[in-house]
C-alpha cells in the first residue's frame, strides 16, 4: 500500500521537514555521520562487486544494484543525508520551515556526512583489503581506478552528472515516503539508485568516500603501483569533483523536482 503524491508532499512539508529543521545540532551531526558511513558501505560493496567484471554494462549494473544498500540503510535504519535533504527546499518555499533551521540542517549534515565518509575510508585503509603483498589487490586497483576517474572529471562534467544523480536519489526518497512497508521502501530505492550508478552520474556524499579512500590507498601503497593514477589528488577532488557535484546535486532536484512539486501541490497544502 502507498499514499498519493499530494499526501506525501503534505506530510513532508508539515511534519517531516519540521522534525529535520528543529533537531538539535548534536543529533543532526551524529545522524549525519551515520549517513556518511552508510553510503560508504554501499560504495565498498559496489567497488568489491564490480571488481573483475569485464563487461562494462554488466559491471555498472551490478555496482548500481549493490550500492543501493547505502540509501536503504539511511532510510530504514535512520540517518540524515545531505542529498536527500535537498528536498527541504520545498517546505522552505512553502514557508513551512524557517530559513535558519533549513541552513542549520544543510550545513551540519553536509559536514557530518563528510566526517562519516572519511572515517569509513580510514578504517577501510586499515583492513588492507586493497593490498596484495607489496602491490595492489584487485579491489585496491578497482578503488583507485574509480577514484582517479572521479578526480579527473572536468567541472562541467561533474556538475551535470551531479544534477542527474540527485534527481534520481530524491525521487527514491520521495517514493520511500509513499511506501508503507519496509519492503516497499527498499524496492522504491533499488531502481532509481541502480540507475544513477549504472549511468555514471555523480553523488557528492558517495564521492566523499570513493575519492578519499583512493587517496588514502595511494598514499599507503608503493609508488610504482600507483604512478598511473595521476589525476588523484586532494585539489582535483575538491575543486573538480566535490564542489561542482554538490552544486549539481542541489540544482538538479531544485529545477526538476522542488519547483514543479511546489507549483503543483502548494494550494492543497496551504
Distance CA 268, CA 263 (A): 10
pLDDT tens over the chain, length 270 residues: 568 888 998 999 989 999 999 999 999 999 999 999 999 999 999 999 999 999 999 999 999 999 999 999 999 999 999 999 999 999 999 999 999 999 999 999 999 999 999 999 999 999 999 999 989 999 999 999 999 999 999 999 999 999 999 999 999 999 999 999 999 999 999 999 999 999 999 999 999 999 999 999 999 999 999 999 999 999 999 999 999 999 999 999 999 999 999 999 876 544
CB atoms closer than 10 angstroms to residue 164 = 19
CB 124 within 8 A of CB 44: yes
Output the pTM of the full model.
0.96
DSSP β-ladder status, 131-132 and 135-136: antiparallel
Query: Quick one: 50 exposed, middle or buried, by C-beta within 10 A (0-12, 13-18, 19+)?
Result: buried
Secondary structure (3-state) at 155: helix
Superfamily of domain 5-269: Glycerol uptake facilitator protein. (1.20.1080.10)
CB-based contacts of 193, cutoff 8 Å, min separation 6? 64, 67, 68, 70, 71, 168, 169, 172
| Domain segments of the chain as ranges | 5-269
Amino acid at each position: 500500500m502507498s499514499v498519493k503524491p499530494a499526501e506525501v508532499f503534505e506530510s513532508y512539508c508539515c511534519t517531516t521537514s519540521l522534525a529535520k529543521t528543529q533537531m538539535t545540532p548534536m543529533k543532526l551531526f551524529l545522524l549525519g555521520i551515520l549517513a556518511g558511513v552508510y553510503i560508504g558501505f554501499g560504495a565498498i560493496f559496489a567497488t568489491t562487486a564490480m571488481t573483475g567484471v569485464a563487461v562494462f554494462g554488466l559491471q555498472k549494473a551490478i555496482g548500481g544494484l549493490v550500492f543501493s544498500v547505502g540509501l536503504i540503510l539511511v532510510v530504514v535504519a535512520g540517518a540524515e543525508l545531505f542529498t536527500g535533504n535537498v528536498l527541504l527546499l520545498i517546505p522552505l518555499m512553502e514557508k513551512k520551515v524557517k530559513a535558519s533551521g533549513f541552513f542549520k540542517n544543510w550545513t551540519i549534515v553536509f559536514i557530518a556526512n563528510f566526517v562519516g565518509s572519511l572515517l569509513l575510508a580510514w578504517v577501510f585503509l586499515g583492513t588492507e583489503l586493497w593490498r596484495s603483498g607489496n602491490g595492489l589487490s584487485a579491489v585496491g586497483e578497482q578503488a583507485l581506478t574509480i577514484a582517479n576517474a572521479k578526480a579527473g572529471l572536468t567541472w562541467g562534467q561533474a556538475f551535470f552528472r551531479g544534477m542527474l544523480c540527485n534527481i534520481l536519489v530524491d525521487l527514491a526518497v520521495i517514493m520511500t515516503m509513499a511506501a508503507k512497508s519496509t519492503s516497499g521502501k527498499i524496492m522504491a530505492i533499488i531502481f532509481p539508485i541502480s540507475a544513477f550508478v549504472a549511468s555514471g552520474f555523480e553523488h557528492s556524499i558517495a564521492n566523499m568516500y570513493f575519492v578519499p579512500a583512493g587517496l588514502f590507498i595511494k598514499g599507503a601503497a608503493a609508488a610504482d603501483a600507483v604512478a598511473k593514477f595521476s589525476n588523484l589528488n586532494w585539489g582535483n577532488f575538491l575543486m573538480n569533483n566535490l564542489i561542482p557535484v554538490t552544486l549539481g546535486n542541489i540544482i538538479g532536484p531544485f529545477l526538476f523536482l522542488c519547483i514543479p512539486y511546489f507549483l503543483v501541490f502548494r494550494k492543497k497544502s496551504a
